[in-house]
């Protein structure tokens, strides 16, 4: 336990000494929200979106931006650069288990992501009158599952790629579909039916996130699928991970 | 009972044979040199000792453990210095030592280690800002922080100026005098002559000679280990 906490504390210090990803992860969702919210049309109810305002439907998708950026860009970059520099090889000659390093990265990025999402939710409520999630507990659990499921994809990319460049390329394979299905490029109600259905089950679970927010709560099957992605993905990453 | 025993070790990468039937032993308390030109199979051999690579065939025993099976236990008792392994740029000297100390059940005293390697004045210097000599000293400190029984040092003085090399040699002797068995991988003959009790000379994946530096000079009839090495590895 002492080994893990020491590793986590050291990784946290290093993470904050190059604060780009921390600052990005915490501020970007709120910055995008402010940008979109400053356009008047986004703040007016529209018939296309069933009487909701664009911004109401967009906020859940902004959560996807935060998760995808940190999970699919920052995590693979961090682990892959350790691999390139030989840091992983050096660690491989010590008794520290490989999974510790992956878990430390997961925890660090999770803290940043939750801070970013939290700040964005508060801003959305205070500045743009977007209602907070209607089922807060369900929302938080779904968010955590969604977060781990996306981060696990990033860890898998980091585990199989040999260089930082390759890791970025692997992660991009997941990045764009997740952003698209998650309604980042186009609000989800405007996406084709089939894409919307896919979004109900794949990480980070945009549909359950939305249902916990405005709808009638999350369907059990969506919960289970998301949990399976989260657990299975993390286990696969730990299995695939090689020090070199 | 030798501390390290390697029997008929063989390792190939695809079609290329890196190590081709290598056997040697290392006794407790000695400085054992693994010599050879680049690509002779030295690094592959020590990587097998460290459990970083799995041999295709042959047996290895380090401290009565098989590196391929008891890797977690083995790593508690060996300290390693790797050829070109870096640390994160922003990690500071003392932080690196404290982090690595947390990996081991019975770590060394960090203050004493910093003094021994003359790193006290650089405690808060980031790895990225360290000179080559300081990096090498930190890397030796990290190899010793777990209080190992065996230290495996790979290309310890490559890239160092003559003063730093001599300082590093003194350190290695000090480490051995503290009771640690040292396996030293090098292609510098003056270094081997100065430090090693016994050496194994590698050429093209095999061991062509084993013995003390004096024995190798005597069997080849040469006056320096350098000349003896060139004769043994088949180039004149």
When pLDDT is averaged across residues A35-44 and rounded to a whole number, the result is 81
Report the phi/psi class of residue B205: left, alpha or beta, with left for phi > 0 and alpha for psi in -120 to 50.
left
Hey, is the C-beta of A21 within 8 angstroms of any chain B C-beta?
A: no
Whole-angstrom distance, CA of residue B165 vs CA of residue A132 = 65
User: Do the chains contact at B50 and A93, CB–CB below 8 Å?
Assistant: yes
Burial level of B121, CB count in 10 A (0-12/13-18/19+)? exposed
Q: What is the pLDDT of residues A153-162, one digit of tens each?
A: 888 888 888 8
Q: Identify the DSSP state of A225.
A: H
Q: What is the pLDDT of residues A41-57, one digit of tens each?
A: 777 777 766 777 878 77
Q: Identify the DSSP state of B129.
A: G
- pLDDT at position A35: 87
A 10 A CB-CB count for A173 gives 12
Q: Which residue of A has its CA nearest to B100?
A: A94
Q: What is the pLDDT of residues A60-80, one digit of tens each?
A: 778 888 888 888 888 888 888
- What is the token pair recorded at B90? 């922003």
Cβ–Cβ under 8 Å, residues B193 and B186: no
Per-residue pLDDT at A237 exceeds 50: yes
Q: What is the pLDDT of residues A205-224, one digit of tens each?
A: 777 777 777 776 777 888 88
When pLDDT is averaged across residues A90-105 and rounded to a whole number, the result is 89
Whole-angstrom distance, CA of residue B200 vs CA of residue B34 = 5
Angle (CA) A9 B113 A101, round 5°: 25
Whole-angstrom distance, CA of residue B13 vs CA of residue B186 = 22
Whole-angstrom distance, CA of residue A104 vs CA of residue A91 = 14
3-state secondary structure of A201: coil
Whole-angstrom distance, CA of residue B80 vs CA of residue B84 = 12
Per-residue pLDDT at B24 exceeds 90: yes
The residues that bridge with B36 in the sheet, in sequence order, are B202
Kindly report the pTM of this predicted structure: 0.86
In sequence order, the 6+-apart residues with CB closer than 8 A to the CB of B124 are B92, B93, B94
Whole-angstrom distance, CA of residue B30 vs CA of residue B223 = 24
When pLDDT is averaged across residues A176-182 and rounded to a whole number, the result is 78
Mutate to test the interface with A, among B47, B77, B86, B144 (most CBs of A within 10 A): B86
Q: How many distinct helices (H) and strands (E) make up chain A?
A: 11, 0
- pLDDT at position B235: 59
- What is the token pair recorded at A110? 């999770």
Hey, is the C-beta of A86 within 8 angstroms of any chain B C-beta?
A: yes
Per-residue pLDDT at A187 exceeds 80: no
């Amino acid at each position: 336990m002492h080994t893990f906490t020491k590793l986590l504390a050291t990784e946290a210090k290093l993470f904050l000494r190059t604060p780009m990803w921390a600052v990005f992860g915490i501020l970007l969702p709120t910055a995008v929200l402010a940008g979109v919210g400053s356009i008047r049309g986004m703040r007016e109810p529209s018939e296309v979106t069933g009487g909701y305002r664009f911004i109401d439907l967009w906020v859940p998708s902004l959560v996807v931006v935060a998760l995808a950026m940190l999970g699919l860009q920052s995590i693979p970059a961090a682990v892959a650069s350790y691999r390139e520099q030989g840091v992983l090889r050096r660690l491989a000659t010590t008794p520290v288990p490989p999974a510790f390093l992956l878990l430390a990265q997961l925890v660090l990025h999770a803290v940043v992501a939750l801070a970013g999402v939290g700040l964005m939710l508060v801003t959305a409520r205070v500045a743009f009158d977007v209602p907070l999630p209607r089922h807060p507990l369900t929302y938080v659990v779904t968010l955590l599952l969604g977060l781990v499921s996306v981060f696990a994809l990033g860890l898998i990319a980091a585990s199989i790629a040999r260089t930082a460049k390759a890791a970025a390329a692997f992660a991009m394979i997941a990045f764009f579909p997740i952003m698209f299905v998650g309604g980042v490029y186009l609000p989800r109600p405007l996406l084709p039916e089939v894409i919307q259905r896919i979004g109900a089950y794949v990480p980070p679970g945009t549909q359950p996130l939305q249902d916990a927010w405005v709808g009638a709560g999350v369907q059990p099957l969506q919960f289970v699928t998301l949990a399976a992605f989260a657990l299975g993905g993390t286990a696969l990453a730990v299995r695939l991970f090689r020090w070199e | 009972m030798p501390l390290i025993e390697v029997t008929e070790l063989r390792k190939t990468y695809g079609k290329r044979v890196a190590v081709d039937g290598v056997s040697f032993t290392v006794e407790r308390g000695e400085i054992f040199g693994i010599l050879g030109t680049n690509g002779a199979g030295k690094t592959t051999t020590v990587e097998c000792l460290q459990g970083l690579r799995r041999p295709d065939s042959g047996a290895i025993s380090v401290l009565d453990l098989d590196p391929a099976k008891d890797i977690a236990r083995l790593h508690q008792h060996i300290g390693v210095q790797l050829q070109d392994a870096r640390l994160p740029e922003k990690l500071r000297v003392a932080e690196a030592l404290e982090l690595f100390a947390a990996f081991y059940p019975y770590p060394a005293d960090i203050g004493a280690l910093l003094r021994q390697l003359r790193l006290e004045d650089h405690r808060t210097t980031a790895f990225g800002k360290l000179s080559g000599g300081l990096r090498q000293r930190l890397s030796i400190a990290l190899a010793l922080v777990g209080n190992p029984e065996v230290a495996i040092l790979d290309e310890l003085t490559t890239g160092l100026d003559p003063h730093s090399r001599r300082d590093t040699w003194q350190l290695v002797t000090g480490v051995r005098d503290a009771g640690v068995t040292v396996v030293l991988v090098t292609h510098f003959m003056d270094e081997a002559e100065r430090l090693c009790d016994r050496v194994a000379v590698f050429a093209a994946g095999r061991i062509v000679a084993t013995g003390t530096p004096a024995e190798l000079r005597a069997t080849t009839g040469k006056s320096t280990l350098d000349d003896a090495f060139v004769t043994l590895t088949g180039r004149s």
